[in-house]
Amino acid sequence: MESYKFMFKDWHQILRSFGISVYLAVVGTAISLVVMALYAYPISRSDFPHKNFFSFFMFFTMLFNGGLVPWYLVYTQMLDLKNTLAALMIPLLVSAFYVLLLRTFFANSIPMALIEAAKIDGAGEIRTFSQIILPLSLPVLASVALFQVLNYWNDWFLSLVFISGSKNINLQFMMYKTMLDIQFLSSNVQASQGLAAAGGVLKLPTETVRMAMAVLGIGPIVFAYPFFQKYFKKGLMVGAVKG
């Protein structure tokens, strides 16, 4: 109990970081689902002529990446996202692996006949996609959403790299920061000595406080699981096409 009290002394920072984490998890996941589904759907269609090119375009990023520094440059200098919330969201928006996962689902679980039927009934592409394909793909969307929520929730690296100051950091990083500080100061004796000499004392939380932080960190995500659970159980395709 003491630890929680100690932690909530700094409650406005915690609340802020908590809010940021929740916001990122919710909004980030929603946007990323839309974007990934929109990308995955066309490349799942066998009658789409550039399918292979676009598939490869996405797949290529799984094999090769530019490395940390160019990646950092793109976000900070090209897009100028340093210290923004967008910097915490955009890098995780599209994951090649999930796109391929979605594509496979769209291609294998939804019969072409269904799409053709919709077309004959006069639905356009967009309508087919939003009213036929997406509702039928709830299971895969739910699993990808769950993964993405977890990714956003557990991410601390983006905060580490892009955010300075404590205004825009998410909850995970707030906790991780203290760990990093402890690590650094225990491995650099001279720094800690200098710091001590100047009378600057790093307030490092005790073990119990860290554990309390961990509880706070896992709390909300625990509730996300049962919420997604019900989609996993749902069966697929209940006789949409007469065989």
Partner 1 sequence: MKSIRKSAVVLAATAMSLSLALAGCSSSSSNEAGSGSTQAPAASGSPAATKAASSSDLKPYEIKMVYPGTAQPDQAKVEEAMNKILKEKINATIKLMPIDWGQWDNKTNLMIASREDFDILFTAQWNGHAVNVGKGALLPLNDLLSQYGKGITDSLDPNFLEGAKIDGKNYGVPTNKELAASGGIVYRTDIAKELGLDLSNVKTIQDLEPILKTVKEKKPEMTALFLREGDNFNAHYFAQYDFLGDATIPGTIMKDGDSTKVIPVWDQPRYKETLKITRDFYQKGYVNKDAATTQLSYQDAMKTGNVFMITQSLKPGKDAEMAASTGLIGKLGQVEMTARTISTGDSAGSMLGISASSKDPARAMMFINLLHTDKALNNLINFGIEGVHYTKVEGKDNIIKATDAGKNYAPGAAWMFGNQFLNYLFENEDPQKWEKYKEFNKSGKKSPGLGFTFNSEPVKTEVAAAVNVEKEFNAALDTGSVDPDATLAKYQEKMKAAGMDKIIAEKQKQFDAFLATKK
Binding positions for partner 1, 196-235, rule CB under 8 A: 196-202
Alpha-carbon distance of 43 to 172, in angstroms, equals 35
Can you count the helices (H) and strands (E) in the chain? 15, 0
- For partner 1, which stretch binds (CB under 8 A), given 11-19, 71-79, 138-146, 219-227? 71-79
- The 123-162 site mask, x for binding partner 1 (CB under 8 A), equals -xxx--x------------------------------xx-
Alpha-carbon distance of 175 to 210, in angstroms, equals 8
Nearest to 89 by CA among 153, 165, 36: 153
Can you tell me which of 17, 29, 95, 168 binds partner 1, judged by CB under 8 A? 168
Residue 189 makes contact with partner 1 by CB under 8 A: yes
Nearest to 130 by CA among 41, 50, 49: 41
* Min separation Cβ 226 and partner 1, Å: 30
Q: How many residues form the binding site for partner 1 (CB under 8 A)? A: 71
**Six token digits for residue 24:** 């990122």
Give, as ranges, the residues between 81 and 120 that touch partner 1 (CB under 8 A).
81-87, 90, 93-94, 119
Residue 190 makes contact with partner 1 by CB under 8 A: yes
CA distances from 86 to 22, 31, 79, 129, 211 (A): 14, 12, 10, 28, 29
Residue 6 makes contact with partner 1 by CB under 8 A: no
Q: Which is nearer to partner 1, 14 or 185 (CB)?
A: 185
